[in-house]
Structure 1
Amino acid sequence: MRKVFSTSILAILIVSGIATSCKESNLQPQSENQPVVNVSQPQNDLEVSAAATTNPNARAAANTEGWASVTAFRAASTSVQMNVVRLANAANGRMSGTSVTDTQGRWLTDCADGDGARMRSAIAKYDKWYRANVKTRCSTPVVPASVRTDMYNSFSGSAYDVTRRNALVNQTIARYNSFACNSSVAVPSTDNATLSFLNIQRQCLEWAETIGRSAGGSARGYYATGVSSVANYRPGMALYKTDRSHATLITDIYWNADGTIRKVKVAEANYGSGWINPNGMIPWQRTVAVGREITSLSGYKVVSFE
Protein backbone atom coordinates (compact mmCIF):
# COMPACT_ATOMS: atom_id res chain seq x y z
CA MET A 1 0.00 0.00 0.00
CA ARG A 2 1.25 3.45 -0.79
CA LYS A 3 3.02 5.24 2.03
CA VAL A 4 0.71 7.53 3.94
CA PHE A 5 1.61 6.95 7.59
CA SER A 6 3.63 9.42 9.60
CA THR A 7 7.21 8.58 10.50
CA SER A 8 6.34 8.55 14.20
CA ILE A 9 3.77 5.80 13.66
CA LEU A 10 5.95 3.79 11.35
CA ALA A 11 8.86 4.01 13.77
CA ILE A 12 7.03 1.77 16.20
CA LEU A 13 6.14 -0.84 13.61
CA ILE A 14 8.02 -4.07 14.18
CA VAL A 15 7.95 -6.46 11.29
CA SER A 16 7.24 -9.93 12.60
CA GLY A 17 6.05 -13.01 10.80
CA ILE A 18 5.31 -12.65 7.11
CA ALA A 19 3.97 -9.47 5.66
CA THR A 20 3.91 -8.10 2.17
CA SER A 21 2.61 -5.17 0.29
CA CYS A 22 3.43 -3.29 -2.85
CA LYS A 23 4.29 0.36 -2.88
CA GLU A 24 2.33 0.55 -6.11
CA SER A 25 -1.03 -0.22 -4.52
CA ASN A 26 -2.79 3.11 -5.00
CA LEU A 27 -2.07 3.50 -8.71
CA GLN A 28 -5.07 3.61 -11.00
CA PRO A 29 -3.89 3.92 -14.60
CA GLN A 30 -6.55 5.26 -16.97
CA SER A 31 -6.30 2.21 -19.20
CA GLU A 32 -7.10 -0.12 -16.30
CA ASN A 33 -9.76 1.87 -14.48
CA GLN A 34 -12.14 -1.04 -14.33
CA PRO A 35 -14.51 -2.29 -11.62
CA VAL A 36 -13.25 -5.15 -9.48
CA VAL A 37 -15.03 -8.42 -10.15
CA ASN A 38 -15.94 -10.58 -7.17
CA VAL A 39 -13.93 -13.72 -7.76
CA SER A 40 -15.63 -15.75 -5.07
CA GLN A 41 -19.14 -15.66 -6.58
CA PRO A 42 -20.66 -19.16 -6.80
CA GLN A 43 -21.07 -20.78 -10.22
CA ASN A 44 -24.15 -22.76 -11.15
CA ASP A 45 -23.92 -26.34 -12.38
CA LEU A 46 -24.91 -25.41 -15.91
CA GLU A 47 -22.09 -22.90 -16.25
CA VAL A 48 -19.51 -25.30 -14.85
CA SER A 49 -20.70 -28.15 -17.06
CA ALA A 50 -20.71 -25.95 -20.15
CA ALA A 51 -17.20 -24.71 -19.44
CA ALA A 52 -15.99 -28.27 -18.93
CA THR A 53 -17.55 -29.36 -22.22
CA THR A 54 -15.96 -26.56 -24.26
CA ASN A 55 -12.62 -26.51 -22.50
CA PRO A 56 -10.04 -28.23 -24.74
CA ASN A 57 -8.15 -29.43 -21.64
CA ALA A 58 -11.16 -31.18 -20.12
CA ARG A 59 -11.02 -34.95 -20.20
CA ALA A 60 -13.99 -37.06 -21.25
CA ALA A 61 -14.82 -37.46 -17.59
CA ALA A 62 -15.21 -33.77 -16.81
CA ASN A 63 -14.38 -32.24 -13.41
CA THR A 64 -11.54 -34.65 -12.68
CA GLU A 65 -10.38 -33.99 -9.13
CA GLY A 66 -6.77 -33.04 -8.51
CA TRP A 67 -4.06 -30.62 -9.57
CA ALA A 68 -4.53 -29.32 -13.10
CA SER A 69 -0.91 -30.11 -13.89
CA VAL A 70 -1.64 -33.78 -13.15
CA THR A 71 -5.18 -34.26 -14.44
CA ALA A 72 -4.97 -31.82 -17.37
CA PHE A 73 -8.43 -30.61 -16.36
CA ARG A 74 -8.62 -26.82 -16.77
CA ALA A 75 -4.86 -26.66 -17.04
CA ALA A 76 -2.86 -23.89 -18.70
CA SER A 77 -3.88 -24.07 -22.35
CA THR A 78 -2.67 -20.98 -24.21
CA SER A 79 0.95 -20.22 -25.01
CA VAL A 80 0.87 -17.22 -22.68
CA GLN A 81 -0.51 -19.27 -19.77
CA MET A 82 2.00 -22.07 -20.28
CA ASN A 83 4.87 -19.59 -20.59
CA VAL A 84 3.85 -17.79 -17.40
CA VAL A 85 3.87 -21.07 -15.47
CA ARG A 86 7.22 -22.06 -16.98
CA LEU A 87 8.90 -18.72 -16.30
CA ALA A 88 7.46 -18.43 -12.80
CA ASN A 89 8.60 -21.92 -11.81
CA ALA A 90 12.05 -21.28 -13.27
CA ALA A 91 12.40 -18.15 -11.11
CA ASN A 92 11.96 -20.05 -7.84
CA GLY A 93 14.66 -19.08 -5.35
CA ARG A 94 16.16 -16.42 -7.59
CA MET A 95 16.36 -12.68 -7.09
CA SER A 96 13.29 -10.94 -8.49
CA GLY A 97 15.38 -8.76 -10.83
CA THR A 98 16.55 -5.16 -10.73
CA SER A 99 13.57 -2.86 -10.34
CA VAL A 100 12.81 -0.20 -12.95
CA THR A 101 10.25 2.57 -13.07
CA ASP A 102 7.26 2.20 -15.38
CA THR A 103 6.54 5.19 -17.59
CA GLN A 104 2.92 4.10 -17.96
CA GLY A 105 2.34 4.12 -14.21
CA ARG A 106 1.33 0.48 -13.85
CA TRP A 107 3.47 0.00 -10.74
CA LEU A 108 5.55 2.05 -8.33
CA THR A 109 9.08 1.34 -7.13
CA ASP A 110 10.97 2.02 -3.91
CA CYS A 111 11.84 5.43 -5.35
CA ALA A 112 8.20 6.56 -5.23
CA ASP A 113 6.89 9.27 -2.92
CA GLY A 114 10.15 11.20 -3.09
CA ASP A 115 12.30 8.39 -1.73
CA GLY A 116 14.43 8.25 -4.86
CA ALA A 117 15.56 11.85 -4.28
CA ARG A 118 16.24 11.01 -0.62
CA MET A 119 18.38 8.05 -1.62
CA ARG A 120 20.35 10.16 -4.07
CA SER A 121 20.90 12.80 -1.40
CA ALA A 122 22.44 10.19 0.92
CA ILE A 123 24.61 8.83 -1.90
CA ALA A 124 25.83 12.32 -2.81
CA LYS A 125 26.76 13.10 0.80
CA TYR A 126 28.82 9.94 1.06
CA ASP A 127 30.41 10.61 -2.31
CA LYS A 128 31.51 14.08 -1.18
CA TRP A 129 33.05 12.74 2.04
CA TYR A 130 34.70 9.77 0.29
CA ARG A 131 36.40 11.86 -2.40
CA ALA A 132 37.77 14.28 0.18
CA ASN A 133 38.99 11.74 2.71
CA VAL A 134 39.66 8.30 1.24
CA LYS A 135 42.97 8.04 -0.56
CA THR A 136 43.32 4.26 -0.91
CA ARG A 137 40.93 2.44 -3.20
CA CYS A 138 39.57 -0.94 -2.08
CA SER A 139 40.09 0.01 1.54
CA THR A 140 37.33 -0.19 4.13
CA PRO A 141 37.06 3.38 5.36
CA VAL A 142 35.88 4.18 8.86
CA VAL A 143 32.92 6.45 8.28
CA PRO A 144 32.54 9.16 10.93
CA ALA A 145 29.32 9.17 12.90
CA SER A 146 28.67 12.71 11.69
CA VAL A 147 28.66 11.53 8.06
CA ARG A 148 26.32 8.66 8.85
CA THR A 149 24.00 11.06 10.69
CA ASP A 150 24.01 13.43 7.73
CA MET A 151 23.12 10.56 5.39
CA TYR A 152 20.45 9.32 7.80
CA ASN A 153 18.88 12.79 7.82
CA SER A 154 18.46 12.60 4.05
CA PHE A 155 15.44 10.37 4.75
CA SER A 156 13.65 13.00 6.80
CA GLY A 157 10.00 13.09 5.77
CA SER A 158 9.97 9.53 4.48
CA ALA A 159 7.92 6.67 5.90
CA TYR A 160 11.03 4.66 6.75
CA ASP A 161 11.61 3.98 10.43
CA VAL A 162 14.95 4.18 12.24
CA THR A 163 15.94 0.61 11.38
CA ARG A 164 15.17 0.97 7.69
CA ARG A 165 16.93 4.36 7.40
CA ASN A 166 20.07 2.93 8.95
CA ALA A 167 19.85 -0.05 6.61
CA LEU A 168 19.69 2.28 3.62
CA VAL A 169 22.73 4.20 4.90
CA ASN A 170 24.68 0.94 5.29
CA GLN A 171 23.64 -0.29 1.83
CA THR A 172 24.67 3.03 0.29
CA ILE A 173 28.13 2.83 1.89
CA ALA A 174 28.63 -0.83 0.95
CA ARG A 175 27.58 -0.34 -2.67
CA TYR A 176 29.62 2.84 -3.08
CA ASN A 177 32.76 1.21 -1.68
CA SER A 178 32.28 -1.74 -4.02
CA PHE A 179 31.99 0.52 -7.05
CA ALA A 180 34.94 2.66 -5.92
CA CYS A 181 37.14 -0.42 -5.69
CA ASN A 182 36.39 -1.63 -9.19
CA SER A 183 35.74 1.53 -11.17
CA SER A 184 34.92 5.18 -10.92
CA VAL A 185 31.67 6.00 -9.16
CA ALA A 186 28.87 7.86 -10.90
CA VAL A 187 26.36 9.30 -8.46
CA PRO A 188 22.91 8.43 -9.88
CA SER A 189 20.71 11.22 -11.16
CA THR A 190 17.54 9.28 -12.04
CA ASP A 191 15.26 6.84 -10.25
CA ASN A 192 16.31 3.94 -12.48
CA ALA A 193 19.98 4.65 -11.87
CA THR A 194 19.28 4.87 -8.14
CA LEU A 195 17.48 1.51 -8.10
CA SER A 196 20.41 -0.07 -9.92
CA PHE A 197 23.01 1.62 -7.71
CA LEU A 198 21.42 0.23 -4.54
CA ASN A 199 20.61 -3.14 -6.18
CA ILE A 200 16.91 -2.78 -5.35
CA GLN A 201 14.90 -5.74 -6.66
CA ARG A 202 11.38 -5.87 -8.05
CA GLN A 203 8.37 -5.72 -5.77
CA CYS A 204 5.49 -8.17 -6.18
CA LEU A 205 3.42 -6.43 -8.87
CA GLU A 206 6.38 -5.37 -10.99
CA TRP A 207 7.68 -8.94 -10.95
CA ALA A 208 4.29 -10.46 -11.82
CA GLU A 209 3.72 -8.05 -14.71
CA THR A 210 7.25 -8.56 -16.00
CA ILE A 211 6.66 -12.31 -16.16
CA GLY A 212 3.30 -11.74 -17.88
CA ARG A 213 4.89 -9.60 -20.58
CA SER A 214 7.89 -11.91 -20.97
CA ALA A 215 5.42 -14.75 -21.54
CA GLY A 216 3.92 -12.92 -24.52
CA GLY A 217 1.02 -11.31 -22.70
CA SER A 218 0.11 -7.75 -21.83
CA ALA A 219 0.81 -6.01 -18.55
CA ARG A 220 -2.20 -6.17 -16.26
CA GLY A 221 -2.18 -4.21 -13.02
CA TYR A 222 -4.37 -4.11 -9.95
CA TYR A 223 -7.14 -2.25 -11.77
CA ALA A 224 -7.43 -4.71 -14.65
CA THR A 225 -10.79 -6.41 -15.04
CA GLY A 226 -10.92 -9.78 -13.29
CA VAL A 227 -11.96 -13.06 -14.90
CA SER A 228 -15.66 -13.28 -13.99
CA SER A 229 -16.18 -17.06 -14.09
CA VAL A 230 -14.34 -19.41 -11.74
CA ALA A 231 -14.63 -22.11 -14.42
CA ASN A 232 -12.35 -20.01 -16.60
CA TYR A 233 -9.55 -19.66 -14.06
CA ARG A 234 -6.31 -21.20 -15.29
CA PRO A 235 -2.71 -21.63 -14.17
CA GLY A 236 -0.73 -18.90 -15.84
CA MET A 237 -3.07 -16.14 -14.73
CA ALA A 238 -2.40 -13.54 -12.05
CA LEU A 239 -3.94 -13.63 -8.59
CA TYR A 240 -4.13 -10.17 -7.01
CA LYS A 241 -5.33 -9.06 -3.61
CA THR A 242 -8.35 -6.84 -4.14
CA ASP A 243 -6.96 -4.34 -1.62
CA ARG A 244 -3.95 -4.04 -3.98
CA SER A 245 -1.49 -5.13 -1.29
CA HIS A 246 0.06 -8.17 -3.00
CA ALA A 247 0.38 -9.74 -6.43
CA THR A 248 1.03 -13.40 -7.26
CA LEU A 249 0.94 -15.74 -10.26
CA ILE A 250 -1.07 -18.97 -10.33
CA THR A 251 1.13 -21.95 -11.15
CA ASP A 252 -1.42 -24.70 -10.47
CA ILE A 253 -5.06 -25.19 -9.43
CA TYR A 254 -6.53 -28.07 -7.46
CA TRP A 255 -10.03 -28.70 -8.80
CA ASN A 256 -12.66 -30.56 -6.81
CA ALA A 257 -14.81 -33.18 -8.54
CA ASP A 258 -17.72 -30.73 -8.70
CA GLY A 259 -15.68 -28.13 -10.59
CA THR A 260 -14.98 -25.87 -7.63
CA ILE A 261 -11.51 -24.86 -6.48
CA ARG A 262 -9.98 -26.40 -3.37
CA LYS A 263 -6.70 -24.45 -3.50
CA VAL A 264 -4.18 -22.80 -5.79
CA LYS A 265 -0.39 -22.75 -5.88
CA VAL A 266 1.26 -19.42 -6.49
CA ALA A 267 4.61 -17.88 -7.39
CA GLU A 268 5.43 -14.53 -5.85
CA ALA A 269 8.14 -11.98 -5.19
CA ASN A 270 8.63 -9.92 -2.03
CA TYR A 271 6.70 -12.29 0.21
CA GLY A 272 8.49 -12.24 3.54
CA SER A 273 9.63 -9.93 6.31
CA GLY A 274 12.38 -7.50 7.19
CA TRP A 275 11.14 -4.28 5.63
CA ILE A 276 8.42 -1.64 5.71
CA ASN A 277 7.48 0.92 3.08
CA PRO A 278 6.47 -1.42 1.56
CA ASN A 279 6.14 -4.40 3.86
CA GLY A 280 8.04 -7.46 2.72
CA MET A 281 11.63 -8.42 2.10
CA ILE A 282 14.67 -6.16 2.34
CA PRO A 283 14.71 -4.45 -1.09
CA TRP A 284 18.13 -5.73 -2.21
CA GLN A 285 17.33 -9.25 -0.98
CA ARG A 286 13.95 -9.81 -2.64
CA THR A 287 13.59 -13.28 -4.08
CA VAL A 288 10.91 -15.33 -5.80
CA ALA A 289 9.16 -18.23 -4.07
CA VAL A 290 6.96 -20.86 -5.70
CA GLY A 291 4.60 -23.32 -4.06
CA ARG A 292 2.63 -21.45 -1.41
CA GLU A 293 -0.94 -22.78 -1.38
CA ILE A 294 -3.92 -20.47 -0.97
CA THR A 295 -7.11 -22.21 0.11
CA SER A 296 -9.55 -19.28 0.02
CA LEU A 297 -9.89 -16.82 -2.84
CA SER A 298 -11.92 -14.39 -0.78
CA GLY A 299 -10.23 -11.03 -1.11
CA TYR A 300 -8.54 -11.95 -4.41
CA LYS A 301 -9.28 -11.56 -8.08
CA VAL A 302 -7.90 -13.52 -11.03
CA VAL A 303 -6.54 -11.55 -13.98
CA SER A 304 -5.60 -12.81 -17.43
CA PHE A 305 -2.54 -11.46 -19.26
CA GLU A 306 -4.33 -12.00 -22.59
Structure 2
Amino acid sequence: IRFYKEDASAVVTVKAGTVIQTERINGRVYELAITEDVVIASGTASALLPVKATGTGGAYNLAPGYYRILPVAVDGISHVASEENWLTVPGADEESDDELRERCRNQFNLVGNYHTDAVYRSMIAGVAGLSIDRIFFEHEAPRGPGTANAYLLLDSGVASAPFVDAVNDYINTQGHHGHGDDMQCYAMPETLHDLVVTVWVRNLNNISDDEQKRLKDGIENLIRCAFRENTDYDVRRTWPYSRFSFSQLGREIHKNFPVTESLNFSLDDIASELNVPRLKSLVVSIENE
Protein backbone atom coordinates (compact mmCIF):
# COMPACT_ATOMS: atom_id res chain seq x y z
CA ILE A 1 0.00 0.00 0.00
CA ARG A 2 1.42 3.41 -0.89
CA PHE A 3 1.84 5.88 1.98
CA TYR A 4 2.08 9.56 1.09
CA LYS A 5 3.93 12.00 3.35
CA GLU A 6 2.68 15.45 4.29
CA ASP A 7 6.23 16.80 3.96
CA ALA A 8 8.67 15.06 1.62
CA SER A 9 11.66 16.39 3.60
CA ALA A 10 10.52 14.77 6.86
CA VAL A 11 11.55 11.33 8.14
CA VAL A 12 8.42 9.29 8.88
CA THR A 13 8.21 5.95 10.68
CA VAL A 14 5.22 3.66 10.09
CA LYS A 15 4.92 0.96 12.74
CA ALA A 16 4.11 -2.69 12.15
CA GLY A 17 0.43 -3.33 12.81
CA THR A 18 -0.74 -0.01 11.36
CA VAL A 19 -4.19 -0.71 9.89
CA ILE A 20 -5.57 0.36 6.51
CA GLN A 21 -9.32 -0.03 5.92
CA THR A 22 -11.94 0.05 3.22
CA GLU A 23 -15.21 1.90 3.49
CA ARG A 24 -18.12 -0.29 4.56
CA ILE A 25 -19.10 -2.71 1.78
CA ASN A 26 -22.46 -4.42 2.29
CA GLY A 27 -22.04 -3.97 6.05
CA ARG A 28 -18.43 -5.16 6.23
CA VAL A 29 -15.10 -3.32 6.56
CA TYR A 30 -11.92 -5.01 5.29
CA GLU A 31 -8.56 -4.35 6.92
CA LEU A 32 -4.89 -4.78 6.07
CA ALA A 33 -2.01 -4.37 8.52
CA ILE A 34 1.60 -3.29 7.95
CA THR A 35 3.85 -6.32 8.47
CA GLU A 36 7.04 -4.55 9.64
CA ASP A 37 8.32 -1.19 10.85
CA VAL A 38 9.23 1.02 7.88
CA VAL A 39 11.15 4.31 7.87
CA ILE A 40 10.39 6.58 4.90
CA ALA A 41 13.54 8.63 4.41
CA SER A 42 13.82 12.37 3.93
CA GLY A 43 13.43 13.38 0.29
CA THR A 44 11.00 10.54 -0.46
CA ALA A 45 7.44 11.77 -0.99
CA SER A 46 5.81 8.33 -0.80
CA ALA A 47 6.66 4.66 -0.37
CA LEU A 48 5.09 1.24 -0.89
CA LEU A 49 4.75 -0.62 2.42
CA PRO A 50 4.16 -4.39 2.83
CA VAL A 51 0.77 -5.41 4.21
CA LYS A 52 -1.17 -8.54 5.04
CA ALA A 53 -4.92 -9.03 5.42
CA THR A 54 -6.17 -9.24 9.00
CA GLY A 55 -8.48 -12.09 7.99
CA THR A 56 -8.56 -14.90 5.44
CA GLY A 57 -10.43 -15.39 2.19
CA GLY A 58 -10.77 -14.12 -1.33
CA ALA A 59 -12.98 -11.21 -0.21
CA TYR A 60 -9.80 -9.29 0.68
CA ASN A 61 -8.65 -9.37 -2.97
CA LEU A 62 -10.23 -6.01 -3.70
CA ALA A 63 -9.60 -3.92 -6.77
CA PRO A 64 -7.15 -0.99 -6.65
CA GLY A 65 -8.42 2.00 -4.70
CA TYR A 66 -10.56 0.21 -2.12
CA TYR A 67 -7.97 0.29 0.69
CA ARG A 68 -7.52 3.99 1.43
CA ILE A 69 -8.61 4.73 5.02
CA LEU A 70 -6.32 5.10 8.06
CA PRO A 71 -8.63 4.60 11.08
CA VAL A 72 -5.81 5.87 13.31
CA ALA A 73 -3.79 8.76 11.89
CA VAL A 74 -0.06 8.27 11.37
CA ASP A 75 2.10 11.29 12.14
CA GLY A 76 3.50 12.74 8.92
CA ILE A 77 1.24 10.73 6.57
CA SER A 78 -1.39 12.59 4.54
CA HIS A 79 -3.15 9.64 2.88
CA VAL A 80 -2.77 6.06 1.64
CA ALA A 81 -3.93 4.12 -1.42
CA SER A 82 -3.83 0.64 -2.94
CA GLU A 83 -2.51 0.92 -6.48
CA GLU A 84 -2.46 -1.24 -9.60
CA ASN A 85 -0.63 -4.53 -9.02
CA TRP A 86 -0.87 -4.10 -5.24
CA LEU A 87 -1.81 -7.75 -4.70
CA THR A 88 1.21 -10.09 -4.53
CA VAL A 89 -0.39 -13.19 -2.95
CA PRO A 90 -4.20 -13.37 -3.20
CA GLY A 91 -6.38 -14.70 -0.43
CA ALA A 92 -8.40 -17.84 -1.10
CA ASP A 93 -11.68 -19.20 0.24
CA GLU A 94 -12.33 -22.69 1.49
CA GLU A 95 -13.10 -24.93 -1.47
CA SER A 96 -16.82 -25.27 -2.18
CA ASP A 97 -18.51 -28.58 -2.99
CA ASP A 98 -18.84 -27.60 -6.66
CA GLU A 99 -15.16 -26.62 -6.85
CA LEU A 100 -14.14 -29.91 -5.21
CA ARG A 101 -16.29 -31.78 -7.73
CA GLU A 102 -14.56 -29.99 -10.63
CA ARG A 103 -11.11 -30.65 -9.17
CA CYS A 104 -11.87 -34.35 -8.73
CA ARG A 105 -13.13 -34.54 -12.30
CA ASN A 106 -9.93 -32.86 -13.46
CA GLN A 107 -7.81 -35.39 -11.51
CA PHE A 108 -9.17 -38.24 -13.66
CA ASN A 109 -7.57 -36.53 -16.67
CA LEU A 110 -4.10 -36.43 -15.07
CA VAL A 111 -3.09 -40.03 -15.79
CA GLY A 112 -0.40 -40.47 -18.41
CA ASN A 113 3.04 -39.04 -18.98
CA TYR A 114 2.07 -36.02 -21.06
CA HIS A 115 1.52 -32.47 -19.82
CA THR A 116 -2.08 -31.96 -20.86
CA ASP A 117 -4.42 -29.11 -19.96
CA ALA A 118 -5.51 -31.09 -16.91
CA VAL A 119 -1.92 -31.37 -15.65
CA TYR A 120 -1.22 -27.67 -16.08
CA ARG A 121 -4.62 -26.74 -14.68
CA SER A 122 -3.99 -28.81 -11.55
CA MET A 123 -0.46 -27.42 -11.22
CA ILE A 124 -1.49 -23.78 -11.59
CA ALA A 125 -4.45 -24.20 -9.24
CA GLY A 126 -2.15 -25.67 -6.59
CA VAL A 127 0.39 -22.85 -6.81
CA ALA A 128 -2.06 -20.00 -7.28
CA GLY A 129 -4.85 -21.10 -4.95
CA LEU A 130 -7.38 -20.70 -7.77
CA SER A 131 -10.29 -22.99 -8.53
CA ILE A 132 -9.71 -24.76 -11.83
CA ASP A 133 -12.62 -23.03 -13.60
CA ARG A 134 -10.68 -19.73 -13.27
CA ILE A 135 -7.86 -20.99 -15.53
CA PHE A 136 -8.27 -20.58 -19.30
CA PHE A 137 -5.92 -21.89 -22.01
CA GLU A 138 -4.99 -20.52 -25.41
CA HIS A 139 -3.61 -23.14 -27.81
CA GLU A 140 -2.63 -23.08 -31.50
CA ALA A 141 0.91 -21.80 -30.81
CA PRO A 142 0.12 -18.18 -29.86
CA ARG A 143 3.85 -17.36 -29.47
CA GLY A 144 5.27 -19.84 -31.98
CA PRO A 145 5.64 -23.65 -32.24
CA GLY A 146 5.31 -25.51 -28.95
CA THR A 147 3.77 -22.58 -27.09
CA ALA A 148 0.55 -22.20 -25.14
CA ASN A 149 -0.80 -19.52 -22.82
CA ALA A 150 -2.83 -19.76 -19.63
CA TYR A 151 -4.92 -16.86 -18.34
CA LEU A 152 -5.75 -16.49 -14.65
CA LEU A 153 -8.99 -14.96 -13.39
CA LEU A 154 -9.53 -13.84 -9.79
CA ASP A 155 -13.00 -13.51 -8.28
CA SER A 156 -12.20 -9.92 -7.39
CA GLY A 157 -9.33 -7.55 -7.84
CA VAL A 158 -6.86 -8.28 -10.61
CA ALA A 159 -4.16 -10.91 -11.13
CA SER A 160 -1.21 -8.64 -10.39
CA ALA A 161 2.21 -9.00 -11.99
CA PRO A 162 4.08 -10.38 -8.91
CA PHE A 163 1.43 -13.07 -8.49
CA VAL A 164 1.56 -14.13 -12.14
CA ASP A 165 5.38 -14.03 -12.09
CA ALA A 166 5.40 -16.46 -9.16
CA VAL A 167 3.27 -18.95 -11.10
CA ASN A 168 5.51 -18.65 -14.18
CA ASP A 169 8.58 -19.12 -12.01
CA TYR A 170 7.16 -22.38 -10.65
CA ILE A 171 6.27 -23.74 -14.09
CA ASN A 172 9.26 -22.58 -16.12
CA THR A 173 12.21 -21.63 -13.91
CA GLN A 174 11.68 -24.52 -11.49
CA GLY A 175 11.10 -26.91 -14.38
CA HIS A 176 7.53 -28.06 -13.76
CA HIS A 177 6.66 -28.27 -17.45
CA GLY A 178 6.54 -30.90 -20.14
CA HIS A 179 9.55 -31.65 -22.34
CA GLY A 180 9.68 -29.00 -25.06
CA ASP A 181 6.66 -27.16 -23.68
CA ASP A 182 6.58 -23.37 -23.50
CA MET A 183 3.72 -22.46 -21.17
CA GLN A 184 3.27 -18.87 -20.00
CA CYS A 185 0.66 -17.55 -17.58
CA TYR A 186 -0.89 -14.10 -17.85
CA ALA A 187 -3.55 -12.06 -16.12
CA MET A 188 -6.86 -12.43 -17.92
CA PRO A 189 -7.13 -9.69 -20.60
CA GLU A 190 -9.73 -7.03 -19.85
CA THR A 191 -12.23 -4.93 -21.74
CA LEU A 192 -13.00 -1.61 -20.04
CA HIS A 193 -16.47 -0.07 -20.02
CA ASP A 194 -17.95 3.28 -18.97
CA LEU A 195 -21.28 2.64 -17.24
CA VAL A 196 -23.92 5.17 -16.19
CA VAL A 197 -26.83 3.88 -14.09
CA THR A 198 -29.97 5.85 -13.27
CA VAL A 199 -32.08 4.56 -10.38
CA TRP A 200 -35.63 5.83 -9.86
CA VAL A 201 -37.11 5.74 -6.36
CA ARG A 202 -40.68 6.64 -5.41
CA ASN A 203 -41.03 9.62 -3.03
CA LEU A 204 -37.31 10.31 -2.86
CA ASN A 205 -37.99 13.34 -0.65
CA ASN A 206 -39.13 10.99 2.11
CA ILE A 207 -35.69 9.35 2.20
CA SER A 208 -33.05 11.09 4.31
CA ASP A 209 -29.74 12.20 2.84
CA ASP A 210 -27.90 9.49 4.80
CA GLU A 211 -30.28 6.80 3.51
CA GLN A 212 -29.88 8.08 -0.05
CA LYS A 213 -26.10 7.89 0.30
CA ARG A 214 -26.27 4.33 1.67
CA LEU A 215 -28.58 3.35 -1.19
CA LYS A 216 -26.29 4.88 -3.81
CA ASP A 217 -23.15 3.35 -2.25
CA GLY A 218 -24.83 -0.05 -1.91
CA ILE A 219 -25.98 -0.15 -5.54
CA GLU A 220 -22.56 1.00 -6.69
CA ASN A 221 -20.81 -1.73 -4.67
CA LEU A 222 -23.22 -4.38 -5.99
CA ILE A 223 -22.46 -3.34 -9.56
CA ARG A 224 -18.73 -3.36 -8.81
CA CYS A 225 -19.15 -6.86 -7.39
CA ALA A 226 -20.69 -7.99 -10.68
CA PHE A 227 -17.60 -6.58 -12.43
CA ARG A 228 -15.29 -8.46 -10.01
CA GLU A 229 -14.10 -5.57 -7.84
CA ASN A 230 -15.41 -7.13 -4.60
CA THR A 231 -17.22 -10.31 -3.52
CA ASP A 232 -19.77 -8.98 -1.04
CA TYR A 233 -22.97 -9.69 -3.00
CA ASP A 234 -24.42 -12.88 -4.44
CA VAL A 235 -24.71 -11.69 -8.03
CA ARG A 236 -23.87 -13.04 -11.46
CA ARG A 237 -20.37 -11.86 -12.39
CA THR A 238 -18.60 -11.15 -15.63
CA TRP A 239 -16.89 -14.16 -17.23
CA PRO A 240 -14.78 -14.85 -20.31
CA TYR A 241 -16.64 -16.43 -23.24
CA SER A 242 -19.96 -15.23 -21.85
CA ARG A 243 -22.71 -12.65 -22.19
CA PHE A 244 -23.13 -10.27 -19.26
CA SER A 245 -26.82 -9.48 -18.91
CA PHE A 246 -27.84 -6.07 -17.63
CA SER A 247 -31.44 -7.25 -17.26
CA GLN A 248 -30.14 -9.86 -14.80
CA LEU A 249 -28.12 -7.18 -13.01
CA GLY A 250 -31.29 -5.07 -12.78
CA ARG A 251 -33.19 -7.95 -11.17
CA GLU A 252 -30.39 -8.35 -8.61
CA ILE A 253 -30.51 -4.63 -7.77
CA HIS A 254 -34.30 -4.80 -7.33
CA LYS A 255 -33.90 -7.84 -5.05
CA ASN A 256 -31.21 -6.30 -2.84
CA PHE A 257 -32.64 -2.76 -2.80
CA PRO A 258 -36.46 -3.07 -2.84
CA VAL A 259 -37.03 0.71 -2.83
CA THR A 260 -35.82 0.72 -6.44
CA GLU A 261 -38.75 1.43 -8.76
CA SER A 262 -36.91 1.39 -12.09
CA LEU A 263 -33.43 1.31 -13.59
CA ASN A 264 -31.67 2.43 -16.73
CA PHE A 265 -28.24 1.25 -17.88
CA SER A 266 -26.23 3.15 -20.47
CA LEU A 267 -24.84 -0.09 -21.95
CA ASP A 268 -26.31 -3.08 -23.74
CA ASP A 269 -25.30 -6.62 -22.82
CA ILE A 270 -21.55 -7.28 -23.04
CA ALA A 271 -20.40 -10.34 -25.00
CA SER A 272 -16.87 -11.39 -24.05
CA GLU A 273 -14.28 -13.60 -25.72
CA LEU A 274 -11.00 -14.57 -23.99
CA ASN A 275 -11.27 -11.52 -21.77
CA VAL A 276 -13.22 -10.28 -18.77
CA PRO A 277 -15.34 -7.10 -18.78
CA ARG A 278 -14.35 -4.57 -16.10
CA LEU A 279 -15.40 -1.04 -15.26
CA LYS A 280 -13.45 1.93 -16.57
CA SER A 281 -15.87 4.29 -14.84
CA LEU A 282 -19.16 4.01 -12.99
CA VAL A 283 -21.69 6.77 -12.30
CA VAL A 284 -24.83 5.98 -10.27
CA SER A 285 -27.53 8.62 -9.82
CA ILE A 286 -30.69 8.39 -7.70
CA GLU A 287 -33.76 10.14 -9.14
CA ASN A 288 -37.33 10.71 -7.93
CA GLU A 289 -39.97 8.58 -9.66
Verify same fold: TM over 0.5. no
Q: TM-score range by the shorter chain?
A: under 0.3
- Decide which structure has greater helix share: 1
Instruction: Provide the TM-score with structure 2 as the length reference.
Output: 0.23
Using CA pairs below 8 Å that are at least 6 residues apart, which structure has the higher relative contact order? Answer: 1
Answer 1 or 2: which has greater strand percent. Answer: 2
